[in-house]
Chains A and B, each alone.
Chain A
Amino acid sequence: MSEPDEAPVIITINGQAVEARKGAMLVDAAKAVGVEIPVFCYEPRLGKPIGACRMCLVEVEGMRGLQTACSTPVARDMVVNTTSDQVKDAQNGVLELLLANHPLDCPVCDKGGECPLQDRTFQFGPGETRILEPKNHFPKPLDLSPLVALDRERCIACFRCVRFSEDVAEDGQLTFHERGDSTEIATFSGEPYEGRFTGNTIDLCPVGALTSNPYRFVSRPWDIKNAPSICAGCSVGCNLEITERDGEIKRVTGRPDPNMAVEEGWICDRGRWAFPALTAGDRLVMPEIVDQVGRRHVRIERAVGDAGAILRRSGIRVAFLLGTPVTVEDGFLALELSHLLDDAPVARLGVSDDGLGPLRALPGAQMHDMDGADVIVMVGGDPSSQQPVTELRLRKARRNGARVAMVGPRPTALDGNTAEALRTVPGRLGDAMDVVAERLLGSSRAIVLWDECDLAAEPVAADALARLVASTPGARAIELAADVSGPGLRALGIPATGVLEQIEAGEVDVLITVKADPTTGPGGTRWAAALNQVPTVIALSTHRSPIVDLAAIAIPVLYGLEEAGTLVSMAGRAQRLRPGAIGPEGAAAAWEVLVGLSHRMGQPLPDRTAAQAFDRMAKRFPAFSGLTCTDLGLLGAPIAAGTGGPAAPARRAEGEGLALVVSTPVFGDATAHRSDALDCVREETHLGLCPAEADRLGVSGSTHVRVTTPFASVLLPLVEDHRLHEAGAYLVLGDPASMAATLLPADRGPVCAVISAPVAQEVGA
């Protein structure tokens, strides 16, 4: 009688013999053959079924009473009825009770029209109630946080949000208080429910109890259009769904059909609520040119025409600089255009590839491979802050039994409960390789997450780590890439260096920047000086920035959620962006502007859509060989792994003082700062020191410190934190306007900083 779980068996559902997997839940087995059993609380992504809502009651022959199909596993020869009178009666009863205290305020509910409770009630419900007693009333709504609103009258106590908080995000914030019909969702002492992933509870809520405050009363389901796209906030490449109304993005949610290989439907709050940045006041909406009259607005045709005229001049030396988020198509067309311009150099702003070749040649893994890993070692980085959804995968891996270790200089949100924290001396990752080796010993399905910035700074550690992983059977690697464009542009062979040096050597007459503003980033001071030597800058930019003010021609371009194109995730997965909004009237997609330039130069490139550009590119570049835009479909596809490159010699940190440990939290970047919705969770620029070190430097208790490297000197707020290593200064990059990133060298290499007390007038009396 005992057969392995997952073996196919025959069961009967509503009189039909069907094949099902043994051990699968009845509700899934029925769904697989097209029979819908209604559910509210069932959600396999939240862990084991709990049978809280009783909506899925079905009749199983030989079992007494009705069974919850969500928690009844399939067994051989089971005979199931989902439509009998008894089942129908139970469904009527359950819905009648779930609605006993429900205010039936669908016409004014944000969930109305896309509400499982509404749909199930119409499909399976009784249509009327026999309950005459007064309903529970609560003041509404209650703000669980500035982002999430709770309407307690509508809650059916399905436990989905509570299970997300407890078992997925593991933040232990949401619970139920009281009992019976007084049960309500609450946090400890009424504190706000704030974290990096809170918005997922809104997607999970099967009723109108949890709704999005920024989306409150913004639109009705019949006014909107949804498009599946990709988040351009970090290199994880979460799949998301964009809601558009009147050409503008009104909402971003996780995909209803999640990409299980990437984000599993969970997205971070930065990805969910950053979209207001697209309509922020400093968005570049009209092209600008500088001519005899001065700086003025023109139509995009004129701006592209003028730029084309400049590029047509003979003998000019052009260079391209690509920033972020730049799609693979943008990169490809920049390369194509460069071929028409005497092979003009094309570079991306990012971390240099030097010394990372050995790590990139390792066998790669996708995000979902972490679910089955036995050991996960993170080397450097802080995925919770820089690639947030990675954190949820790591927590899941730990629940699945993986041993997780975090080797690096930063304290992280995963320390303790999820990951064994092995703190390293800042700038000395190489010393920890013995520890990494120990953790990998005996594993057969290990995954190593390595941070691009940290390991680029320590090529010797990178090489040692690569050898370790290569010699561990079954071990694979995922790169925690520093930016969203890097993996895609690298696959096209676009380097992170070159253009700056060429400008400084006076070899560039025209610089075309695509979503790149190097003056506020690493090496900003050097870049600013160099840019002053460039006679003509043509800036393709989403927002106003110093480079726009410097440019002879500035052309507004579309941003991630507005455009078509392809991004490659840190795990090497190519995924398609689909436009969720029209974007400013005067703007076009960057790839389109580049094609436009080729036309104005009299050497037109053939691409009319991003898809055509992708297909032409895929034939040219081995990383994408065999892929077409159609193949990528809704869920994307992994690209071929790189061939790697040589190891590099050790790098010496520039400057004197404490090693600078840099974090770039996505909740602190320019886009997050442009979105009002993220006010409550935004991260600000600051410098962290351990109290003992702050004391030694004589800055203990100061609100600000002056941080000086060979590249810049910046006044920053000081945060003292005992979890920090005393041999490091921890720089957290927030708003680019703070100019803190200019403390780093242009190649984001290792650097030391001198920390000093500010002079009195600097901090203001």
Chain B
Amino acid sequence: MTAHEISEFLAPIRHEFPDQRSLILPALRFAQEEQGWLPPEAMAAVAEATGYSQAYVESVASFYDRLYTEPVGRRVISVCTTLSCMLRGSDELLAHVAANIGTNGEGTSADGMFTLQRAECLGACDRAPCLQVDSDDQQGPLTHDDADAIIGALRADGAPTRYDR
């Protein structure tokens, strides 16, 4: 993705951001669409299009869990490990998901299908323990079987089964 393409994407929304620094986020999200993650060249292009330093753009990207500065699998599963979920067994849920997809804790599965990551509070404490697939709504509370079913559905056709209770 070139700086020019990013600039063209930003042109119609520029006026919505009185602080031009805020353009970095939509620009990063747009740049991430192409390869599913943000290689250094993509961040450099965002820097050029927004006028901020490359280091600053990378700093912004590294702050957010859903902006990826390293390659990720086709589906990203975020397991909440903050207080409520932790008390309700999120550590065990995370370990269970990892075992299912074949990663050692957080990371990407060998087949490139899944990336598992720990998330800070997903805002569904009433449904702990919860997880989130890509940027879909969080779902929970989940048993280990529920998690297996979600992963199975994702493997089969990519459409996640929802467990909203």
A residues with CB within 8 A of B: 165-166, 172-180, 186-189
Contact = CB atoms under 8 A, between A and B. Distances in A.
B35 interface: no
A178 B58 CA distance: 9
Interface string B55-94: 1111100110000000000000000000000000000000
Given A165-B55, A173-B53, A180-B120, 18 more contacts: A172-B53, A172-B55, A172-B56, A174-B55, A175-B55, A175-B58, A175-B59, A176-B59, A177-B62, A178-B62, A178-B63, A179-B63, A186-B58, A186-B62, A188-B40, A188-B54, A188-B55, A188-B58
Interface in B15-74: 40, 43-44, 52-59, 62-63
A43 B63 CA distance: 25
Across the A-B interface, the 9 shortest Cβ-Cβ residue pairs? A172-B53, A175-B59, A188-B54, A177-B62, A188-B55, A175-B55, A189-B40, A179-B63, A178-B62
Contacts of A165: 55
Contacts of B52: 172
B63 A187 contact: no
A166 B40 contact: no
29 contacts: A165-B55, A166-B53, A172-B52, A172-B54, A172-B56, A173-B53, A175-B53, A175-B56, A175-B58, A175-B59, A176-B59, A177-B62, A178-B62, A178-B63, A179-B62, A179-B63, A186-B55, A186-B58, A186-B59, A186-B62, A187-B55, A188-B40, A188-B44, A188-B53, A188-B54, A188-B55, A188-B57, A188-B58, A189-B58
A179 B64 CA distance: 8
B50 to A, nearest CB: 12
B147 to A, nearest CB: 26
Given A188-B40, A188-B43, A189-B40, A177 B56 contact: no
Contact of A173 (B43, B55, B63): B55
A179 B69 CA distance: 14
Nearest to A173: B55
A120 to B, nearest CB: 27
Contacts of B63: 178-179
A179 B63 CA distance: 6
A187 to B, nearest CB: 6
Interface size class of B (residues with CB under 8 A): 10 to 19
Nearest to B54: A188
Contacts of B40: 188-189
- The prevalent SS among residues of B at the interface is helix
A176 B60 CA distance: 9
A185 to B, nearest CB: 10
A176 B57 CA distance: 10
A175 B53 CA distance: 10
A166 B53 CA distance: 9
Contacts of A187: 55
Contacts of A189: 40, 54, 58
A165 B59 CA distance: 14
A12 to B, nearest CB: 38
Contacts of A176: 59
Nearest to A417: B51
Contacts of B57: 188
Contacts of A177: 58-59, 62
A294 B63 CA distance: 71
Interface in B119-157: 120
Which of A176, A177, A179, A188 has the most chain B CB atoms inside 10 A of its CB? A188
Contacts of B58: 175, 177, 186, 188-189
B104 to A, nearest CB: 18
Nearest to B120: A180
A180 B54 CA distance: 21
A416 to B, nearest CB: 11
Which of B54, B55, B58, B63 has the most chain A CB atoms inside 10 A of its CB? B55
Contacts of B44: 188
B27 to A, nearest CB: 16
B105 to A, nearest CB: 15
Contacts of B62: 177-179, 186
A180 B58 CA distance: 16
A535 B14 CA distance: 77
A188 B59 CA distance: 8
Contacts of A186: 55, 58-59, 62
A354 to B, nearest CB: 45
A165 B53 CA distance: 11
A177 B57 CA distance: 10
A473 to B, nearest CB: 36
B18 to A, nearest CB: 19
Contacts of B55: 165, 172-175, 186-188
Contacts of B54: 172, 188-189
A174 B52 CA distance: 13
B69 to A, nearest CB: 8
Nearest to B39: A189
A180 B62 CA distance: 11
A177 B59 CA distance: 5
A176 B58 CA distance: 9
A486 to B, nearest CB: 37
Contacts of A188: 40, 43-44, 53-55, 57-58
B30 to A, nearest CB: 19
Which of A165, A173, A175, A179 has the most chain B CB atoms inside 10 A of its CB? A175
Contacts of A173: 53, 55
A170 to B, nearest CB: 9
Contacts of B120: 180
B10 to A, nearest CB: 20
A179 B120 CA distance: 11
A523 B99 CA distance: 77
Contacts of A179: 62-63
A408 B55 CA distance: 31
Which of B40, B43, B58 has the most chain A CB atoms inside 10 A of its CB? B58
Nearest to B60: A175
A597 B126 CA distance: 91
B1 to A, nearest CB: 17
Which of A166, A177, A186, A187 has the most chain B CB atoms inside 10 A of its CB? A177
Nearest to B69: A177
B85 to A, nearest CB: 17
Nearest to A177: B62
Which of B40, B57, B62, B120 has the most chain A CB atoms inside 10 A of its CB? B62
B48 to A, nearest CB: 12
A382 B52 CA distance: 25
Nearest to A174: B55
Nearest to B57: A188
A523 B56 CA distance: 48
A495 B58 CA distance: 55
Which of A165, A166, A179, A189 has the most chain B CB atoms inside 10 A of its CB? A189
B92 to A, nearest CB: 20
Contacts of B43: 188
Nearest to A180: B120
A172 B48 CA distance: 13
B121 to A, nearest CB: 12
Contacts of A166: 53, 56
